[in-house]
Amino acid sequence: MEKKNIDWSNLGFGYVPTDKRFVSNYKNGAWDEGTLTSDPNVVISECAGVLQYSQSCFEGLKAYTTEDGHIVIFRPDMNAARMKDSCKRLEMPVYPEDKWVEAVVSVVKANDAYVPPYGSGATLYLRPYMFGSDAVIGVHPSAEYQFRIFCTPVGPYFKGGAKPITIRVSDYDRAAPHGTGNIKAGLNYAMSLYPIMEAHRQGFDENMYLDPATRTKVEETGGANFLFVTKDGKVVTPKSDSILPSITRRSLVYVAREYLGLEVEEREVYFDEVKDFAECGLCGTAAVISPVGKIVDHGKEICIPSGMEKMGEITQKLYDTLTGIQMGRIKAPEGWIKVVE
Ligand SMILES: *Cc1c(COP(=O)(O)O)cnc(C)c1O
């Protein structure tokens, strides 16, 4: 396979169409075989459930080239399981988990020329998603659905090192108590667009959302979970029914305990505690961990001791270990790495 002529190191995080995508249709109570297609366009009814009542969910995961030249995918079974949860909550039909992983593998194989080479810092981002595709005008679940997976090469998240970011405490909520915050529904993102643009207009990189019921506990940002480190080297990560269970965060918790021998607390985290932490990071597939240097609560600044120049020491160790596992430099836990070819 000859790689595409792409300037991998200078790729951004944008959509670059690739050769093939997977599509399967659900009709009369069953999924069809599914197929790879060259057509990047979706044609659906003007009255489709997704267009009228936002019945849609998605996933995000990555394929990489490891140090020894294999193409691998990181924990796709976890994304399949999470999409199952999303589908159930949104009254959508589950796409069988084993076939889900097979479909992801088929997309990576069909686009192997777009998987960035080892060492470039770039990766192949995979976007599985499902939506109600038939006409729905009364409010009820769609009868027909489409499940699709496309991929797009994305550049290194941090060009020239990870610079800590500044975030603000948001006055908006990301999710309702007992709402859809714990699933990957497109509608959660639609709601977050105004608050994130407002944050940017005010000079902040991200929003910290507090728990919607009491506004005293830390939840997450629009698209990443929090991870804190205490002054005595313990890892603390918020636990709540309304945060999205990040696979990166769950992997980092395992790495902290089993690879680095750190103590980890998964518990409610009060905003009042944040000023006492030594390090703070945001975890998600896109960046693995983005360090946070400053948190601003209505004009009151909390400066994280690790500062605005680099990641905290333990955050860096977590980052290096997890990316080492993903890139094949460090032995992975059983079942974490799906080898494609
Ligand atoms: C996808 C997502 C994350 C990150 O999850 P990963 O599985 O680590 O990529 C965190 N928060 C929200 C709201 C998300 O949608």
Question: Which residue's alpha carbon is nearest to atom 12 within ligand 1?
Answer: 223
What confidence tens digit (pLDDT) does each residue in 321-336 have?
A: 999 999 999 999 999 9
CA 255 to centroid of ligand 1, rounded, Å = 18
Mean pLDDT of the chain: 96
What confidence tens digit (pLDDT) does each residue in 230-249 have?
A: 999 999 999 999 999 999 99
CA 243 to centroid of ligand 1, rounded, Å = 9
- Please give the backbone phi and psi of residue 210, each rounded to the nearest 5 degrees, phi first: -95, 170
The DSSP output letter for 244 is -
What confidence tens digit (pLDDT) does each residue in 128-157 have?
A: 999 999 999 999 999 999 999 999 999 988
Report the nearest atom of ligand 1 relative to the CA of 249. 8
What confidence tens digit (pLDDT) does each residue in 179-233 have?
A: 999 999 999 999 999 999 999 999 999 999 999 999 999 999 999 999 999 999 9
CB-ligand 1 contact for 284 (6 Å cutoff): yes
Question: Which residue's alpha carbon is nearest to atom 2 within ligand 1?
Answer: 223
CB-ligand 1 contact for 206 (6 Å cutoff): no
Model confidence band, residue 162 (pLDDT cutoffs 50, 70, 90) = confident
CB-ligand 1 contact for 248 (6 Å cutoff): yes
What confidence tens digit (pLDDT) does each residue in 284-310 have?
A: 999 999 999 999 999 999 999 999 999
What percent of the chain shows pLDDT beyond 70? 100
pLDDT at site 205: 95
CA 78 to centroid of ligand 1, rounded, Å = 12
Question: Which residue's alpha carbon is nearest to atom 13 within ligand 1?
Answer: 223
187 three-class SS: helix
The whole-number average pLDDT for the span 246-260 is: 98
Indicate if the pLDDT at residue 268 is higher than 80: yes
The DSSP output letter for 333 is P
Cβ burial, residue 236 (10 Å; 0-12/13-18/19+): buried
CB-ligand 1 contact for 121 (6 Å cutoff): no
CB-ligand 1 contact for 122 (6 Å cutoff): no
pLDDT at site 319: 96
Q: Where are the beta strands (DSSP E) in 230-320?
A: 235-238, 264-267, 279-284, 288-297, 300-303
pLDDT at site 177: 94
Cβ burial, residue 94 (10 Å; 0-12/13-18/19+): middle
Question: Which residue's alpha carbon is nearest to atom 5 within ligand 1?
Answer: 246
pLDDT at site 157: 80
Residues annotated as catalytic (active site), given as ranges: 184
Report the nearest atom of ligand 1 relative to the CA of 225. 10
What confidence tens digit (pLDDT) does each residue in 38-53 have?
A: 999 999 999 999 999 9
Indicate if the pLDDT at residue 159 is higher than 80: no
Q: What is the pTM assigned to this prediction?
A: 0.97
For a substitution probing ligand 1, which of 244, 249, 282, 322 has the most ligand atoms within 8 Å of its CB? 244
CB-ligand 1 contact for 170 (6 Å cutoff): no
What confidence tens digit (pLDDT) does each residue in 77-115 have?
A: 999 999 999 999 999 999 999 999 999 999 999 999 999
Cβ burial, residue 193 (10 Å; 0-12/13-18/19+): exposed
Bridge partners of 280? 228
CA 225 to centroid of ligand 1, rounded, Å = 7
CB-ligand 1 contact for 247 (6 Å cutoff): yes
CB-ligand 1 contact for 60 (6 Å cutoff): yes
